[in-house]
Structure formats: C-alpha cells, structure tokens
Structure 1
Amino acid sequence: MGLTSNKVLLLTVVLAVLLFIGTVWLWPRLARQNWRSVTGRVGLLLAVQLALFSSLGIAANQAFGFYASWADLFGRETAQGVVVNHTASGAPGGPLQVLSTQQLQGVSGSGPRQTGQIQKVDIVGRTTHIATPAYVYLPPEYFQPRYRTRTFPAAVILTGYPGTAQALVDKLHYPRTAQELAKNGRMQPMILVMLRPTVAPPRDTECVDIPGGPQTETFFAKDLPEAVTDHYRVGRKPGSWGIVGDSTGGYCALKLAMHHPASYAAAAGLSPYYKAPIDPTTGDLFRGDRNLRNRADLWWCLKHLPAPATSLLVTSSRIGEHNYKDTLRFIDQVQATNLTGISSIILPSGGHNFNTWRREIPATLQWLSGRLSDR
C-alpha cells in the first residue's frame, strides 16, 4: 500500500484506536510497582503516541502533498526517467514521454473536447539530462477541430519543497480552475505543465545550477520549454510562457523570470521567499562561488543587475505569512526599476498552506493569462 493510500491512513487510525482501548483495558493490570508493570505502561504509552503521530503525519501528507511514496519519504527515490522522443504527431522528435492520460474531474461534460485532458509525462533535459515526472493539462480547445492549427500559451506550475506534482492537480486544482476560468471567458485557454522543483530528490536544489551537481536552473530555463514545445502546440516566443509556484516554487518562479526573461514573460510567486536558503536539505549549493550565491539572491539581483523585461506577481497575507514585510519591500524595490512590472495579492489573513493558495490561484491565472500570447 502506498504512502498516499486511504487504506494506509485508515489502518493507522484503526491501530491508534485499538492501542488506546487496549491501554485503558490493561492499565489496571499494570498498576503494580515492579519493573515489568512500569515497562508495560511505558511501552503502551509510546505505542499509542507513535500510532497517533503516524495517523496525523499521514493525514497531513495527504492534505498537503509533501511526499508521494515511501521511497520519497525516506530519501530513496532514485529511479530515473526513460528518454522517448516524440512530436505532437507521435513521430520521433523530443525528450517527452506520455505515460498515461486521464479526464479532468469535477467539471461538466465528458471527453477531452469538453473537459480537457491531464497527461502524466516523463521529461528528460537534452542538455542537463535531468529526468523528472510531470503532469500536463491540455484545455478542451486543444482537441477541438477549429483550433487544430492554433498554438497555446503555456504556464509552468511548481510545488513547494518537497511537494508532489499530483497535489497541484488534486489539492490545488490548477486544471479545474483553469478550465472553469476559460469556459467563463475570464482567461484564455492555456497549457499547464505541473511538476515540483525537486528534480534531484531528496535534495532541495532551489532551482540553482550547482557546480558539479544538478543544473536545475538550466533545466527549467531551457530544457523544459524545449521539451514541451517539441511535443505540444505551444507558442515558441517568450511571450507565450509564464511560470507560477508556491513557497520554494514561488521563489524559483520569480528567479527564473528575472534571470531568463527570454524564456518567461511573466512569473507569479505565491508566498515566496527572495533568497535561496542554505540548510541540511540543500547542502552546499554554491561551492564557495560568490557570483552564484549573489545570483540566487533576488535582493542582490534587483540592486546590481539590469531590470529584466518581465512581469512579476507576489502574494502574501497581513496575518499568517512570515514573508509579509519582505514582500512589501520587494514590491517597493521592483517598482524602482524601469522594465519589470510588479503586481500583488495581499490577503487580510492566511497561512502558508494549500487553503491560502487556492484562494489566490484564480486571480493569479487570470493575471498570467493577460500577459501571455498564443504565438
């Protein structure tokens, strides 16, 4: 049974309940003051607490999508993707393999021409050789005959760390939101490429080109757009591409648009931070290279690099988000530039969680749609 299985959650809950009942039942028998009784009481208490914490941990993982599997949880996810080249017609041409398809749930209609389609894919970077799974949402218009020659704008959607790409579909509802907004004429039809920034699990690479390590920034700035463009009818000009992320993904989105405006015309950071951290999950990202460290610091970029011709959106909450003051400061500093546009969503209250981001996603997608073209 997988880590995200409802059966696993139910099993841990049942185990916790049984252990609690057993503890209440056996406690009088263990009331004696000898080492066997004391050991028994300690063992029962520890077992109940372990079962309770396991239940809460598994429930939280299902709600927030931190880890996709047991191997992912214990840092043993090492399987690499397989390169299979395709074009939109199915002939050889690009490093993207479609593994499966599914219909969009929770919307009216049936079939991809009415609801769109979600494809589970493997992507391998031509230059970086980074392999990662992703989900691609294709809007209904993609399958309709009158749009057969049309290209579509695309948005890369990133999770936080560690995150799971599945959570972008099931928990944050990006495809369903995009389909409903486009159906109501509030945004243009767009292709969504949904994945996590953790392309070298379990390491948190912070979308940095690590000396002697994964070239994560190059993957997202070059390899990913090329692979998607080779396979799908996506606009090839910079104005056709945007990027969105939450938390770590939000930092990555802002940095990639600021560093590579020729790749991303717009970026939205939901609850982002503005400087790459160094901690046990990241390891040594820069290997002593001061230039790399500075480039990963968006404050430094605003102060020392030419303003990029891109549009940025940042979000925060007055109560509940630790990045609120930094976000206001970031807005002020971007406003001082001449080329970079800045917008914001500031909620009265909201924590660093899925519920807050679900409140921000519809407005974010509308904002992004207004800044992308389909050519």
Structure 2
Amino acid sequence: MSYPVPAEVAGQARAAGPLESPWLWLTFAALAVACVVGTILVRRRKGARRCGIALAVVFVLLATTAGANAGVGYVRSGTDLVLLLQRGGGPLRDLGKLFEDEGSTPGTRQIRLGGAGGPAVERMVIADPGNGVPGGRNFVLLPPGYTDAANANRRYPVVYLVHGNPGGPEDWLTAGDAPGTLQRFSRLRALPPMIVVSVDLTAGHPGRDWEGLDVPGGPKLESYLAGSVVPAIDRRYRTVADRGHRALGGMSGGAFAALNIGLHRLDAFGALLLAMPYDVPDNRRRLSEDPALLAANTPRDYLSRMSFPQPVAAILTAGSEAPGDVTTARSIADALRVRGQQAAVRTEEGFGHTWRTARASLPYLLAFAAGVFARPRG
C-alpha cells in the first residue's frame, strides 16, 4: 500500500525555485556581455577598463554558477542560502544562527522556515566520539500540532533521510525541500503526520565520501546512525519506537548508505526509501584491505544470499536522463523481490542524477513509507 500523491504536491516538488530559473544565468551572462562591450568602448580609459574587466569576470562566474545550479537544483531560494551558511565557519555560521530560536525540545535549536502550517524544524546535535563523530547536526522536522496539548500522548512514525556525498544534513531541507513537501501534504490532509529526521553522516567532514560506512580507522557511521541517532530521537521525541514505524532513506551516496545500513539492520528499519541508489561502494579503497569487510558492505554481492528474518519494503527512484541509475534501481528491486521482499521502482521523467530528482521523488518516498507504517502488525 502507498498513499496517493496529490498533483499539487507532485507538481511543486518538480518545479524549479527562483534561484534555479534559467533566466538568472541568462541575465548574468547578458550583464557579462554588456561589461565586455562597455570595456571595449572605454578602452582608452585605464581605470574604467579595469573595472569593466573585473565586473565581466564576476558576472561570468555568477552565470556559470547559476547555470550549474539550474541543472542540479542545489539552491532554490534565499532561505536555502541561509541554511547553507550554517555549514560554514566563523561569521557565516553566526549569520545563519540569527535564524534560530530555542527548540521546543530541551537541547535543540529551532530553525525558522516557511509560514504557518509547515513542520517545525529543530537542530539536534548528537555527538558520538566513541564512533568518531564529534558532533552531528541532525535536523528533526516535527509535524504541525506536535506541541499541542491535545496531541500530548500521540506518537509518530519516523523517516530518516541521509544526504548525498559530498553534502550535509541541510541538503534535505534546502535542495530536497522536505519542509515544503510536508507542508503541502499537511495542508491537503493527504498523508498521516510523521517525524522526518535529516541525519548528519559527515563525521565533521562534509567533503568526505563516507557512504555511511563503519570505516576502518575512521568514523563508524552505520553504528552512529543505528546506535546513537535512532535511540536519541526515540528518547527525546514521541516516536513509535519499532521497526514497523521507522524508515531509512537517502539520495545517491545517501541511498547507498540507507540500502546498506537498512539491510544490515533489519531489526531497526522496516522500509527503505532510495533515490538514485547504487549497490557497490565507491569507497572500495577504504575497505579493500579486508576482502570480507568489502563483501559485507557490497549489497550487489550479499543481497542475493542474505536471509530476511524480518520483511523489508523498498521504493527505488531514478531520473530518466540517468539510464544507469534506472538500470541499477531495477536490478536492486529485482534482487529484493527474489528474496521475497516488496520493491517498487519509480522513474522521474526529464531528470538526471541531481537533487531535482531527489526532490521530485520525495513525495513518493514519504507516501510509500506512510503505507508501510499503516500496515497492521501481526
């Protein structure tokens, strides 16, 4: 069972944000051309010529950045920029913190996003030095009404989402637009309320491609997620703390992490939500010194042989413009079905291996998870 996704929710998830518009990079390109023309016209005035060249270079860089962003969909709006500031250091991080308040849950900070009717977003730092994680910034999206007195005894299922590589936990709030998607679902009353957690698997190094692995001599990110993040969320929030009401998902490298960790931890997660997944780790060099460890973290190898003491349901999505992703998604789904597990595949038309695909997929991932959560428990 999967809940239907309203056309409004699907359409908004596919729509480009204001900073993704092709008109933006075209405007910058036109300004660069204008600066070049102006520089030629004033070529005998040395100071003006230098200024014109400098401006032309700036506009070319802006046009290039805006053009890339229009295709990848990493920054949609000014709000996205504010959240991404928090990933920086020094004054940039301090500027981002101006948009935070004390969270409703002790030990958290609430991020001001969107208007009324959307999820409350709390930033929760979960440190696990024993597993090599100095202080993961995990974002918790609470459904509307969570803090109302009428819901004081209500508990909620949880979806955990993992960012891609390189990247960070802010990405599901910005490029993935999880708050906007949840707000639209809530306004239309089209999906039962749930808690969504954007997990930090960077181990303090957003540029590293960890893939959610327990890395020999490095951070133990699978152990961190399953052993530290999930219990911390269950302690601090009113969750339905069982595998049947817990889903794990991600995009690209985060989808690999979700697939690998989810198959290792069947006792913790009952659903897998995989956008643009792959089943062979890119980090083979980190594991290659131990062939057994490499095999144990390569789903393409072990999935066909593993047993399923608890069932798992998976949805896999890919962009039609990335045929390799489509093939891999279908292959993983087939392997799961052979082992008697439920697996669905969805193709997002017109998109490639980008955050725009993950954003367009998110409503269907959440709807699938809600269907799993609604199943009667034996």
The question of whether the paired residues in 1 share the 8 Å contact of 2:111 and 2:123 is answered with yes
> Could you say which residue in structure 2 is the equivalent of 1:314?
316
> Could you say which residue in structure 2 is the equivalent of 1:184?
188
Q: Aligned-residue CA RMSD in angstroms?
A: 3.8
Q: 2:237 aligns with which of 229, 232, 239?
A: 232
Q: Deviations over 1:298-323 (max 9, x none)?
A: 11121232246211110123444431
Is residue 2:37 matched to residue 1:24? yes
* 1:333 partner letter: A
> Could you say which residue in structure 2 is the equivalent of 1:52?
60
Find the aligned partners of 1:195 and 1:13 in 2 and give their Cα distance.
Answer: 36
Deviates more, 1:210-219 or 1:365-374: 365-374
> Could you say which residue in structure 2 is the equivalent of 1:331?
333
TM (norm. structure 2) is 0.73
Q: 2:144 aligns with which of 136, 140, 145?
A: 140
Deviates more, 1:307-316 or 1:202-211: 307-316
> Could you say which residue in structure 2 is the equivalent of 1:150?
154
Find the aligned partners of 1:266 and 1:22 in 2 and give their Cα distance.
Answer: 54
Query: Aligned pair in 2 of structure 1 residues 364, 16: CA closer, same or farther (>3 Å)?
Result: closer
Q: Deviations over 1:4-23 (max 9, x none)?
A: xx9xxxxx999987775554
The question of whether the paired residues in 2 share the 8 Å contact of 1:139 and 1:189 is answered with yes
Find the aligned partners of 2:179 and 2:34 in 1 and give their Cα distance.
Answer: 44
> Could you say which residue in structure 2 is the equivalent of 1:258?
263
> Could you say which residue in structure 1 is the equivalent of 2:370?
369
Find the aligned partners of 2:179 and 2:41 in 1 and give their Cα distance.
Answer: 56
Find the aligned partners of 1:70 and 1:89 in 2 and give their Cα distance.
Answer: 20
> Could you say which residue in structure 2 is the equivalent of 1:34?
none
> Could you say which residue in structure 2 is the equivalent of 1:159?
163
Q: Deviations over 1:46-82 (max 9, x none)?
A: 9845751355326746941599359869xxx9xxxxx
SS of the aligned residue for 2:154 comes to coil
* 1:269 partner letter: L
Find the aligned partners of 1:346 and 1:200 in 2 and give their Cα distance.
Answer: 33
Shift of 1:177: 1.8
* 2:211 partner letter: E
The question of whether the paired residues in 2 share the 8 Å contact of 1:316 and 1:323 is answered with yes
Q: Which residues of structure 2 form unaligned runs of 5+?
A: 1-18, 20-24, 94-102
The question of whether the paired residues in 1 share the 8 Å contact of 2:28 and 2:63 is answered with no
TM (norm. structure 1) is 0.74
Within 5 A, what are the aligned runs for 1:15-164? Answer: 21=34, 23-27=36-40, 48-49=56-57, 51-57=59-65, 60=68, 63-65=73-75, 68=84, 90=106, 97-102=107-112, 104-106=113-115, 110=116, 114-125=117-128, 127-130=130-133, 131-164=135-168
Query: Aligned pair in 2 of structure 1 residues 13, 362: CA closer, same or farther (>3 Å)?
Result: closer
Find the aligned partners of 1:232 and 1:48 in 2 and give their Cα distance.
Answer: 52
Find the aligned partners of 1:61 and 1:216 in 2 and give their Cα distance.
Answer: 29
* 1:336 partner letter: V
> Could you say which residue in structure 1 is the equivalent of 2:172?
168
Find the aligned partners of 1:71 and 1:342 in 2 and give their Cα distance.
Answer: 35
Count of aligned pairs between the two proteins: 327
Find the aligned partners of 1:367 and 1:64 in 2 and give their Cα distance.
Answer: 24
Structure number with higher relative contact order (C-alpha < 8 Å, ≥ 6 residues apart): 2
The question of whether the paired residues in 2 share the 8 Å contact of 1:187 and 1:366 is answered with yes
Find the aligned partners of 1:15 and 1:327 in 2 and give their Cα distance.
Answer: 38
SS of the aligned residue for 2:315 comes to strand
Find the aligned partners of 2:183 and 2:344 in 1 and give their Cα distance.
Answer: 23
Q: Which residues of structure 1 form unaligned runs of 5+?
A: 1-5, 7-11, 32-39, 78-86, 91-96
Q: Deviations over 1:259-286 (max 9, x none)?
A: 111111111111111111138xxxx421
> Could you say which residue in structure 2 is the equivalent of 1:277?
282
The question of whether the paired residues in 2 share the 8 Å contact of 1:161 and 1:196 is answered with no
> Could you say which residue in structure 2 is the equivalent of 1:351?
352
Percent of residue pairs identical: 19
Query: Aligned pair in 2 of structure 1 residues 371, 182: CA closer, same or farther (>3 Å)?
Result: farther
Shift of 1:221: 1.7
Find the aligned partners of 1:22 and 1:186 in 2 and give their Cα distance.
Answer: 51
